[in-house]
A and B are shown apart, each in its own frame.
Chain A
Amino acid sequence: MHITVYIPLLIAALAPAVVARAARRLPPRPAAWALLCTAAVATAGWLGSLALLAFATLVQIPGIAREGHWSPQLLRAADPVFGPVGVLGALALAASAAALGTAALRQAAAHRLARREVRRLPSGGELAVLDDDTPDAFALPGAPGRIVVTRGMLRSLDHVERQALLAHERAHLAHRHHRFLAAWRLAAAVNPLLRPLADTGAFMLERWADEDAATAVGDRTVVARALARAALATAGSGARPARLAAASGAVPQRVRALVAPPPAHRPLPLLAGGLVLAVSCASLTSAASDSDRMLDTARMPACSHVEAPGNQDDHRIGGRHHDDRDEHPQRDSRRACGGEGPDSPEHQLPAWEPAADRGSPVPRPVH
């Protein structure tokens, strides 16, 4: 708990930028999956660690500690989380959860909109052509998804280039790329540090569809040409004004990647990344079990205090645990207390109440 709880946070903060950089050197398909896994693990680690930090601090609030029959003093003694850090964790957790909720609602609304647009399209086949001179092409996910292309786009390409365009959009739909995008956006909403995953991810999905299209038409340079022509036609139409940025945009990078030899498969970065993600998961699990143990420790003395007067009854109530009590005194005293943990409050009442019925002084489990 001392260090382990911070490791997933550290990985969530540092991994995205590193993984995003490394992913660009990988073939697009494994790269996209690596970015997706990173987003999932980093988000889980981020939320999980914040939750543990927040929890460790919240249980020390006297009211909450009383509810859980924990000793605030013992919690404080066992708990390595510095108070303000826990409060910060709680605030960050609340902010992350709120951002996740908002982003999820927005995604759902956008998804519904896309489905409605798909239903609006003229039926028949995968391709829907819009009678519009502005060059444009995109895939609309749905069941089934549709490829939407304007007449302007079709006219600016020759036959094999059109074939490449269709194969590209078909790849987006076939591999359900919109789900990748949605996952990355949600992750970036939870933790803005994951933004590079979403940006690189969107690029890698385009690369993935480009390579799929290249396989479909049997020629990578055809896809490069189709991209170049489509981009120039779009820029020339004035529909989307040229950017002022000096940096090379996504299309030239895609074109360069298609003109260069196909990216070689590299298992090493994937292995290394997998290892780091595994460390994040292991740290979170370890921190969670530490947190659990801390609650056990904080609860034990409170119970032994209560049990003292009614030790005979303990055999009746908790008699079936008699044997393993010798081996796990700490665990058994928790059971004799009646509670399996904070998540089973209904088990706590019967064990407390007989003690009260006997009229024995039941000290509040607050020290």
Chain B
Amino acid sequence: MSDDTHADGACGALRRPRGALESEVLAALWAADSPLSATQVREALSGDLAYTTVMTILARLHDKGLVARHARGRGYAYEPTRDEAAHTAEQMRSLLERGSDRQATLARFVSELSRQDEEFLQRLLTGQQEP
């Protein structure tokens, strides 16, 4: 978080702080089905980062214990460490399901939908995907 104001870790089409890049790489690893090499991570991030930047970020995530790496070929394959995340998810579930208290502190990305809402959003997505 303290690196957020530094622009030194940012590159690619959109400049963004290193903390944000770390989050994106971590998010990409979590979204993947299997461990990813640095090259695959770079592809998953739309290829807008330099290879060395991706390597640096992966090394930092590994140092923090957020990412585990296994030797694969000549390099490494990276995957997120799950134990702590699973444990935390269990702890957080009570918070997530607690009704009104939750509202006082959290702003969720998306709220609930009605059936009409769902149809509207479906149309929007399919419309945009088929230009």
Contact = CB atoms under 8 A, between A and B. Distances in A.
A267 to B, nearest CB: 28
B107 A178 contact: yes
B71 interface: no
A355 to B, nearest CB: 58
A114 B89 CA distance: 15
Nearest to A108: B104
B91 A247 contact: no
Given A231-B117, A235-B112, A252-B120, A170 B125 contact: no
Contacts of A248: 114, 116-117, 120
Of B82, B95, B111, chain A has the most CB atoms within 10 Å of the CB of: B111
A118 to B, nearest CB: 10
Contact of B113 (A126, A140, A149, A251): A251
Contacts of B101: 109-110, 113
Given A136-B96, A137-B108, A163 B24 contact: yes
A206 B104 contact: no
A232 B118 contact: yes
Interface in B76-90: 80, 82, 84-86, 88-89
A178 B65 CA distance: 30
B118 A242 contact: yes
B68 interface: no
A111 B104 CA distance: 8
**What interface size band does chain A fall in?**
35 or more
Contact of B91 (A120, A137, A182, A217): A120
B26 A246 contact: no
B113 A206 contact: no
Contacts of B85: 122, 128-131, 151
B21 to A, nearest CB: 10
Q: For chain B, which range describes its interface: under 10, 10 to 19, 20 to 34, or 35 or more residues?
A: 35 or more
A336 interface: no
A206 B107 contact: yes
A166 B20 contact: yes
A157 interface: yes
B114 A234 contact: no
Contacts of A178: 105, 107
B28 interface: yes
B94 to A, nearest CB: 10
B61 to A, nearest CB: 8
A229 B125 contact: yes
Contact of B112 (A114, A167, A243): A243
B119 to A, nearest CB: 10
Contacts of A136: 96, 108-109
A122 B24 contact: no
B111 A251 contact: yes
Contacts of A31: none
Contacts of B107: 138-139, 172, 177-178, 181, 202, 205-206, 209
A169 interface: yes
Nearest to A177: B107
Contacts of A166: 20, 23-24, 27
A225 B128 CA distance: 8
A148 interface: yes
11 contacts: A125-B64, A127-B26, A132-B93, A137-B108, A138-B109, A162-B27, A166-B23, A218-B13, A228-B125, A230-B110, A235-B113
Given A127-B26, A159-B46, A206-B107, 7 more contacts: A122-B88, A125-B66, A159-B45, A185-B104, A221-B128, A228-B125, A251-B121
Interface of A: 106-107, 109-111, 113-114, 117, 120-132, 136-141, 144, 147-151, 153-155, 157, 159-160, 162-163, 165-170, 172, 177-178, 181-182, 185, 202, 205-206, 209, 216-218, 221, 224-225, 227-232, 234-235, 240-252, 255, 259
Closest 6 CB pairs of A and B: A110-B104, A124-B64, A130-B89, A114-B105, A127-B23, A137-B109
